[in-house]
Structure 1
Amino acid sequence: MKKNRPVLRFLLLAPLAGLFGLIFGIASVYLYLAPSLPSVESLKNIQLQTPLRIYSHDEKLIAEFGEKRRTPIAFEQVPQQFYNALIAAEDENFYSHPGIDIKGLARAAFELITTGQKRSGGSTITMQVAKNYYLSSEKTFTRKFTEILLAIHIEQEISKKEILELYVNKIYLGKRAYGVEAAAQVYYGKSIDQLSLAQLAMIAGLPQAPSAANPINDPDRARQRRNYVLARMFTEDFITQEEFTKAASEEISAKYHGLSTEIEASYVAEMVRSELAELYPEDLYTKGYRVYTTINSEMQVAAQKAVRVGIHNYDRAHGLREAPEVLTPYILKEQQDVPVRVGASIWKLGESIPSINYELELPPSPDDLNRYTWAKKLQERNAPGDLVWAVITNIDDEALTATAFTADKESIVLNKESYEWARPYVNVNIIGNPIEKPSELFSIGQAVLLEPRGEEIFLAQKPEVQASLVSFNPQDGGLLALVGGYDFSLSKYNRSTQANRQPGSSFKPFVYSSALEAGFTPASIINDAPVVFEDDSLEAIWRPENYSGKFYGPTRLRQALYKSRNLVSIRLLNRTGVGRTIRYISQLGIPRAKLNRDLSLALGSSGMTPFELATGYMVLANGGYKVEPFVIKRIEDSEGNVLFEHEPKQVCPDCKKAIEEYQAKLETRIAENPEALFNQTSEELPLSLEEFSQQFPPIAPKVMDERVNYLMYTMMQDVIKRGTGKRALALGREDLAGKTGTTNDQKDAWFSGFNNKVVANVWVGFDDPQTLGKWAFGSNTALPIWVDFMETALKGMPHSPIQRPEGLVSVRIDPETGNRAYPGQPNAIFETFRAENVPQQMETPPSYVEPNGSDQTGSSQQDSENIAPEQLF
């Protein structure tokens, strides 16, 4: 018996020694790791990596930039059913354990020791929070011990509710989605509180294998995981048998949903992102910056729609460039009596097809199967712009209709009005014969693009022509809307800000403004007659012409502008001087370096962007003040703190007048009492000039005489009332002014127009400059887009004309000579002049005869000239 005592003692003491050893080991690890543990308190203030978000002026989401899609939400915003699913699947003892699950860890350790493999996880939700916020994903014992210690600390410092909120906002759930709200948007296009039980269970099951087992990458594996989560919820009494059965049988509805923006403004978003990249190069896409722009969401939507409608209208006028592709049918006519393979089974006509994912009416026909097969192919195609893909499934020559089947399984009837434009394209000026019946154009299985437009739908094609639209608020320079092309996803090239194109006649108002400033008047007469330029710097002799090829003799400037007479503009520029005109125009906001230093400047030959041209037009629209264009109004951090707020210089004549009057009073007081120079305050004038000025917003400088500005406004109103811009009369407003522009060979078509509150510029052309066709002009190509946009932009806006300033005089003149009309002259018209420029010469009545007997009835038209530019006059 005594011999057995040492053995007994060993058997009793060994476990005790092992326990003490384990305690000592844990204590040693704790003492080693504890000093390096991060503060749990920092979890409450931790900065989640959230993307950059860009908003319109009225807080509609424009774009989101960042590697991680994340939308942090509060605990209360997540449905309780989701927490139930999460706890059932990931951590059934969450509410009772102290941060670690001893049984789970022991089970995981035993499996690892006995099998050499990790079969079940021992991590609790708290441990996952510790790992996700503080630690890496490396698989080492040190990292695991640190995770355990951190989890215990976290449980001691913050509540279970706070732990769950941290978890649901941090966890990765596949497809760049971080956090449950982002996952709900990515997989279902909805907020987390709008999901069904099955969908919540699907997301709750993703943390185990978010990349490999999400419902997009592997639907079958995702379904199995979802049903496991549902089964665990049923076992834990979170759901009933009926709820489990219904949710477990629900079809997989997940599909990838891109960023759900509220308005389409990708070109604007890229402009803003590029500008911010210089300000915040290190953390732009992770700090959750919110940028609020000047974009008006309603105007932006209207601009995008107007540009696309205008492009498609141009496209339809020039015919169908190539026949649409014909998709291969799943079942050919000769195969209809032959068994075919569908999924994993063999199928014959009349048999049900349970393996097909489509909702077919059984028994299906070959036509049914073909349509649904084609629809699936179309789902894989991205349609440009607002177009949709469809496939032709039926042609009826007697009814002159064709039937198309969309990717969303919608059946659409195309009548003759839908497709009759699609005559064969021959060249930019010629299209082929009319289409008599749909079979000439369509064939079964043809993949076609359709353009929905209100109640109508048209056959369409991917356009080649491009367009841009830029709109500003001329009172402060804020960008209201911008479209840089047909579709940003097809081309990132921003034609509004990057394309240097010749503005043509839409540049003439700047040349005319310079001339009025120099003393010309709207009634000044310039001869519209042929001229030839001989200059050694030119490769060939230049013979500019009016578009019509005709010459109209002496012409008033007002008439020359609204009829867009090229030769008058050239002669006018020669009279005022190229250098002087460039100096004048450059102060309006047009880059001087881009202005040609020759007489071709008068015809808009200087390349510039639509953005730059629209910037100059703001001066014409606001009464003569230079405002700087801007798009970023405010930048906030993720907590809503304002990091930057733009204070633009604004047009405020009343502010400027008040400051000038106050300055005059101060100067008078100082003149009367020089000592007041050192004491500029009194009961009458309590503030210094600087203090008084600070009561007003920053004031834009005046760069154009307000009288010159008003005269130009009335002349450009005539462009709309009686000139090339008559289409704008459809808006039914009296406050609009503008100018068309068309360059040589119709390579560029423009319209720029405004009232006192909105400026808009439209350009149409090809990226590789080529003719738009001999019938394409600013008046019928760009102006309709402008009208469509302005109809929305001006809706509900009171008429806002430029107010007539003091110092102008209206007198009756002879429309042929520009002289003052004689009393009672029947064809006299009213014209407005600056007071110092009123014509002094009065027209001679026709009955008056000079003493020498000569009849003063007017001058003859000037003959053709052949002179050098410097000898033009």
Structure 2
Amino acid sequence: MRLLKFLWWFCIGIICSVFLGLSGTFLYLSPSLPSVEALRNVQLQIPLRIYSADGKLIAEFGEMRRSPLRFDQIPPDFIHALLSAEDDNFANHYGVDVKSLMRAAGQLVKTGHIQTGGSTITMQVAKNYFLTSERSFSRKFTEILLALQIERQLSKDEILQLYVNKIYLGNRAYGIEAAAQVYYGKSINELTLAQKAMIAGLPKAPSRYNPIVNPERSKERRNWILERMLKLGYINQAAYETAVAEPIDAYHHVATPELAAPYVAEMARAEMVGRYGSDAYTEGFRVTTTIDSRLQNEANASVRNGLIDYDQRHGYRGPEARYPNQSRDEWLKTLETHRTIGGLEPAIVTQVEKSGALVITRDGKEEAVAWENMKWARPYISSNSMGPRPNTPSDVVKVGDLIRILRDTDGSLRFVQVPKAQSALVSLNPQDGAIQALVGGFSFEQSNYNRAVQARRQPGSSFKPFIYSAALDKGYTPASLVNDAPIVFMDSSMDEAWRPKNDTNTFLGPIRLREALYRSRNLVSIRLLQAIGIDYAINYVTRFGFEKDLLPRNLSLALGTPGLTPMEVASGWTAFANGGYKITPYVIARIESRDGQMLYQANPPRVPSAIKTAETPPGVQIIPTNVSAQNGDTQPPAIAPQIIDPRNAYIMTSMLQDVIKRGTGRRALELKRGDLAGKTGTTNESKDTWFSGYNTDYVTTVWVGFDQPESLGRHEFGGNVALPIWMQYMGSALEGKPEHLPPEPDGIVTLRIDPVSGRAAPPGTPGAYFELFKSEDTPPSMEELGPGTAPGTPLPPNESAPMDLF
């Protein structure tokens, strides 16, 4: 009896000691326990995502790939697989599974090492959200106490939702939806039972059971989970046998953008970091840009095709490298080190025949390149000369040559090379400045330098319209005559005289401004700038958004010598397209939070005729950012400032339409539209070529040149280098759309003009034509000039002719 009493009291003492120990541990740890309520408002790290205006993914930025799901979005099959693998008693316990803990304690006593933690899913939620991965008894006790609290305050569904969205599953994937995308390129709801079981096996050890790195281990783990699901009654025998027979087909799926607009994505990313700092990468912002996916795709193709066409006009520079006498496997390893650049795939020549060449591509296929696609490849000597035409494919390539191929829509291969020249394209909505499409270079992979907004190059003659516009405000008209004749400038600061000339080195004598513009006569532009005054012209053109400090204070300004970006040029041109208003280009249309709340909506200055009431997307809660400081009300749409007379813009559009109808932009007549206006630009030695053009819907500027300025070739101009790119893009942008001409403003007068004198023509004047004027600038008739005035006598508005020699 004494022994029994001793044992009884000994057991009671042990139980009390354990109870007191646990109570003391609880009292010690409970003050430091975090509030479980925080889990209801937890903010998981979600990457920044950039979209086009029509909802296509452009880019994703952030270290953690995560796409949180609600519980009702989680497939039941996956829940069953997860419970079978991690916690089959989840529905019955209260956060802690005593059997699992005892089993873990037994393993510790037996081996002296912690084998498993005996954790339930609830305990793992406590650890993942509140604790570290440290292996210690104090952390384990804290985890147990937190799990008990979590079970009291959250439902089982809420706990599972927290778990599946938080867990790390390898390859930067956090949460089951991100893992499904990374391993299978699909949503979790689109996976097979076997694929769901594979993902359910990853939480235990993402690196050990990774199906890409360790497919065999992953398969064993998957099959064990499927067997557990069968035993627990979640699946039947037929489903089990089908699933275990399924091969491991996972591979790393990189998040593939739905729209190729990397330069736009980088612009939006930089703006978001400027707004939100490093939180931009983790707070799950959804950024919708102004980019139209259809136009962006066409812009990409236009720039690529234009640069390839230019490049092939100047010959073949030879293979990128040579790998003769190598095996097929060695060639494939070599190709793995070479990226696709701007859609141009690397390939190695394996055989040369009379009909063309056979090449091996990165996917191991051997394909043919027809001789017809190789005939262009005359040897490159310089930008102005090439070698003899090749007669056979062997004159162009040899076995082992690393070349580039372009896959056409019909699957055939074109023989190409990566262009050395670069290009930029900017397309704006002239009514509010929304960027519709933007290309900053041939390939972002090749260079992330955004030439559309960073490269300052001389615009050449595409700058002349701003000088002509300034002259129209000074009283000049399209019918004003200016002398197209040689001119020499002497200055003490110059080593020698400046003798500007026209590109054809010819002179036409007195010529109307309209004709001078569409013929792009340099000497007329210089005389015009000289007549209106440099200071006046500089102050005037700054209205279009150009920085005053970047404008040279000399007569070379008339020839387009300031360094401007394509974005600045396109932005300035919008005033001609929209009736004289200054708009500001913008790329971010709206920013939404992870919950779909509207955090920001662009309110750019708009042309008055374009202002409409903005509609809120269905189900979106708006947090106003453009609010009045006085009463908190949302501000009305901003109105763009008027910077030039609408009549000036209308007349300039008429003159720039003639550039296309009968001037240096005549090639654009192929588009068969009567609402296009534009201007070419070519700088000295053809180092920079431009075309800017528009109708009322789109303003588009294209630049082509080398990053390190050098001549594009003696026969290369804006009209045959930049204009074809502009034409392909604008032809697609305007396809199926009716012609959209600007409305004629009040105060415009149309008169019949004598083409010789630029004066109002009397009846019977040969060659008389109709011209546009502002009502206060109509020219006098010959009768009004008085007797003795010879027909064709040119008089500028200020009644004094500029000097020809200084």
The answer on 1:549 being equivalent to 2:489 is: no
TM-score (norm 1): 0.85
Q: Matched residue of 1:492: which SS?
A: coil
For residues 124 and 303 of structure 1, the distance between their equivalents in structure 2, rounded to whole angstroms, comes to: 54
State the shift of 1:445 in Å. 4.5
Equivalence for 1:491: 447
Equivalence for 1:471: 427
- The structure 2 residue matched to 1:729, chosen from 661, 669, 675, is 669
Equivalence for 1:22: 18
For residues 180 and 166 of structure 2, the distance between their equivalents in structure 1, rounded to whole angstroms, comes to: 14
Equivalence for 2:548: 592
Residues 345 and 406 of structure 2 are in contact (CA less than 8 Å); yes or no, is this contact kept in structure 1? yes
The answer on 1:797 being equivalent to 2:737 is: yes
State the shift of 1:792 in Å. 2.4
Equivalence for 2:643: 703
Equivalence for 2:758: 818
One-letter code aligned to 2:541: I
Residues 761 and 786 of structure 1 are in contact (CA less than 8 Å); yes or no, is this contact kept in structure 2? yes
Instruction: Specify whether residues 857 and 818 from structure 1 end up closer, same or farther in structure 2 by C-alpha distance, changes over 3 A only.
Output: closer
Equivalence for 1:401: 356
State the shift of 1:857 in Å. 6.5
Instruction: Specify whether residues 245 and 424 from structure 1 end up closer, same or farther in structure 2 by C-alpha distance, changes over 3 A only.
Output: farther
The answer on 1:647 being equivalent to 2:603 is: yes
Instruction: Specify whether residues 540 and 85 from structure 1 end up closer, same or farther in structure 2 by C-alpha distance, changes over 3 A only.
Output: farther
Instruction: Specify whether residues 655 and 416 from structure 1 end up closer, same or farther in structure 2 by C-alpha distance, changes over 3 A only.
Output: closer
One-letter code aligned to 1:571: R
One-letter code aligned to 1:229: I
Instruction: Give 5+ residue unaligned stretches, structure 1.
Output: 332-369, 657-689, 861-868
Alignment of 1:124-163 (within 5 A): 124-163=120-159
Equivalence for 1:632: 588
For residues 208 and 494 of structure 2, the distance between their equivalents in structure 1, rounded to whole angstroms, comes to: 67
Residues 184 and 203 of structure 1 are in contact (CA less than 8 Å); yes or no, is this contact kept in structure 2? yes
Instruction: Give 5+ residue unaligned stretches, structure 2.
Output: 613-629, 795-801
Specify the structure having the higher radius of gyration (Cα).
1
State the shift of 1:245 in Å. 4.7
The answer on 1:174 being equivalent to 2:170 is: yes
State the shift of 1:623 in Å. 0.4
State the shift of 1:14 in Å. 2.8
For residues 286 and 760 of structure 1, the distance between their equivalents in structure 2, rounded to whole angstroms, comes to: 35
**Identity value in percent:** 51
The answer on 1:749 being equivalent to 2:705 is: no
Instruction: Specify whether residues 764 and 32 from structure 1 end up closer, same or farther in structure 2 by C-alpha distance, changes over 3 A only.
Output: same
The answer on 1:388 being equivalent to 2:324 is: no
For residues 635 and 2 of structure 2, the distance between their equivalents in structure 1, rounded to whole angstroms, comes to: 98
Alignment of 1:378-457 (within 5 A): 378-379=335-336, 381-397=338-354, 400-455=355-410, 456-457=412-413
Equivalence for 1:301: 297
Residues 574 and 870 of structure 1 are in contact (CA less than 8 Å); yes or no, is this contact kept in structure 2? no
For residues 540 and 269 of structure 1, the distance between their equivalents in structure 2, rounded to whole angstroms, comes to: 48
For residues 477 and 292 of structure 1, the distance between their equivalents in structure 2, rounded to whole angstroms, comes to: 15
State the shift of 1:872 in Å. 5.1
TM-score (norm 2): 0.91
Instruction: Specify whether residues 394 and 75 from structure 1 end up closer, same or farther in structure 2 by C-alpha distance, changes over 3 A only.
Output: farther
Comparing 578-587 and 50-59, the one that deviates more: 50-59
State the shift of 1:282 in Å. 4.8
For residues 335 and 598 of structure 2, the distance between their equivalents in structure 1, rounded to whole angstroms, comes to: 46
State the shift of 1:577 in Å. 0.6
Equivalence for 1:535: 491
One-letter code aligned to 1:412: E
State the shift of 1:329 in Å. 6.8
State the shift of 1:418 in Å. 2.0
One-letter code aligned to 2:275: L
State the shift of 1:28 in Å. 1.4
- The structure 1 residue matched to 2:254, chosen from 243, 252, 258, is 258
Residues 425 and 432 of structure 1 are in contact (CA less than 8 Å); yes or no, is this contact kept in structure 2? yes
The C-alpha deviation readout for 1:373-403, integer Å capped at 9, x for no partner, is 7446535542111222333344321xx1223
- The structure 2 residue matched to 1:43, chosen from 39, 57, 61, is 39
Q: Matched residue of 2:132: which SS?
A: coil
The answer on 1:579 being equivalent to 2:535 is: yes
State the shift of 1:654 in Å. 9.5
Instruction: Specify whether residues 146 and 328 from structure 1 end up closer, same or farther in structure 2 by C-alpha distance, changes over 3 A only.
Output: farther
State the shift of 1:241 in Å. 4.9
One-letter code aligned to 1:450: I
Q: Matched residue of 2:680: which SS?
A: strand
The C-alpha deviation readout for 1:324-360, integer Å capped at 9, x for no partner, is 43457775xxxxxxxxxxxxxxxxxxxxxxxxxxxxx
Equivalence for 1:864: none
Residues 477 and 648 of structure 1 are in contact (CA less than 8 Å); yes or no, is this contact kept in structure 2? yes
Equivalence for 1:66: 62
Instruction: Specify whether residues 448 and 203 from structure 1 end up closer, same or farther in structure 2 by C-alpha distance, changes over 3 A only.
Output: farther
Equivalence for 2:798: none
For residues 101 and 420 of structure 1, the distance between their equivalents in structure 2, rounded to whole angstroms, comes to: 76
Residues 194 and 243 of structure 2 are in contact (CA less than 8 Å); yes or no, is this contact kept in structure 1? yes
State the shift of 1:501 in Å. 0.6
For residues 223 and 419 of structure 1, the distance between their equivalents in structure 2, rounded to whole angstroms, comes to: 49
State the shift of 1:49 in Å. 1.2
Q: Matched residue of 1:587: which SS?
A: helix
For residues 654 and 494 of structure 1, the distance between their equivalents in structure 2, rounded to whole angstroms, comes to: 30
- The structure 1 residue matched to 2:311, chosen from 307, 311, 315, is 315
- The structure 1 residue matched to 2:747, chosen from 807, 814, 833, is 807
State the shift of 1:202 in Å. 2.4
The C-alpha deviation readout for 1:63-85, integer Å capped at 9, x for no partner, is 22212111112223232222222
Instruction: Specify whether residues 234 and 328 from structure 1 end up closer, same or farther in structure 2 by C-alpha distance, changes over 3 A only.
Output: farther
Residues 523 and 831 of structure 1 are in contact (CA less than 8 Å); yes or no, is this contact kept in structure 2? yes
One-letter code aligned to 1:744: N
Instruction: Specify whether residues 471 and 373 from structure 1 end up closer, same or farther in structure 2 by C-alpha distance, changes over 3 A only.
Output: same
Comparing 201-210 and 565-574, the one that deviates more: 201-210
- The structure 1 residue matched to 2:274, chosen from 265, 270, 278, is 278
Q: Matched residue of 1:770: which SS?
A: coil
Q: Matched residue of 2:491: which SS?
A: coil
For residues 324 and 119 of structure 2, the distance between their equivalents in structure 1, rounded to whole angstroms, comes to: 52
Residues 590 and 615 of structure 1 are in contact (CA less than 8 Å); yes or no, is this contact kept in structure 2? no
Instruction: Specify whether residues 318 and 121 from structure 1 end up closer, same or farther in structure 2 by C-alpha distance, changes over 3 A only.
Output: farther
One-letter code aligned to 1:578: I
State the shift of 1:522 in Å. 0.5
For residues 513 and 84 of structure 1, the distance between their equivalents in structure 2, rounded to whole angstroms, comes to: 73
State the shift of 1:775 in Å. 1.9
RMSD of aligned residue pairs (Cα, Å): 2.9
For residues 53 and 501 of structure 1, the distance between their equivalents in structure 2, rounded to whole angstroms, comes to: 32
The answer on 1:524 being equivalent to 2:480 is: yes
State the shift of 1:446 in Å. 3.9
Equivalence for 1:118: 114
For residues 233 and 342 of structure 2, the distance between their equivalents in structure 1, rounded to whole angstroms, comes to: 49
Instruction: Specify whether residues 254 and 431 from structure 1 end up closer, same or farther in structure 2 by C-alpha distance, changes over 3 A only.
Output: farther
For residues 701 and 636 of structure 1, the distance between their equivalents in structure 2, rounded to whole angstroms, comes to: 29
Q: Matched residue of 1:402: which SS?
A: strand
State the shift of 1:98 in Å. 1.9
